[in-house]
Amino acid sequence: MIVSFAVIGGILLNFGAFLTYKGKIYESVIIYLFADLCWIIMAYQKNDYWGVLFILIGVMFGFLAFKKMQSGKMQKNLTKEKDDL
């Protein structure tokens, strides 16, 4: 069985989701970015240049979110308050 970049990206996506479930947000964002890299390679190999473009835009937003989290400027609480309902 030959492992493709789509399979590797899917495995990384599952691992990133597991890390998110465990509350390890920084680590999961890094894993998601590696999964995106696999999908960029896959799309490029299939000459899907629109796919490459849109995945790259998503990667840029993901990287910017990671930097914002890392710098402490993202102050979102994951618990619901009574005011949020």
Q: Which residue has the higher pLDDT, 57 or 82?
A: 57
Do the domain assignments include residue 84? Answer: no
24-28 long-range CB contacts below 8 Å, 24 or more apart? 25/69, 26/66, 26/69, 26/70
Structural domain contains residue 55: yes
In this structure, is residue 48 part of a structural domain? Answer: yes
Q: Tell me if 81 is assigned to some domain.
A: no
Does residue 83 fall inside a structural domain? no
How far apart CA 61 and CA 63 sit, in angstroms, is 5
Cβ-based burial of 75 (10 A; exposed 0-12, middle 13-18, buried ≥19): exposed
Tell me whether residue 76 is in a domain. Answer: no
Q: Could you tell me the pLDDT band of residue 80, with boundaries at 50, 70 and 90?
A: low
> Model confidence over 20-74: pLDDT tens digits?
898 888 888 889 889 988 888 988 988 999 988 998 898 888 788 778 877 777 6
Give the domain range for residue 26.
5-71
Residue 62 located in a structural domain: yes
| Per-residue pLDDT, 14 | 93
Q: Is residue 78 part of a domain?
A: no
Cα(28)–Cα(31) distance, rounded to whole angstroms?
A: 5
Tell me what pLDDT residue 74 has: 66
DSSP designation for 82: G
Domain count, the chain: 1
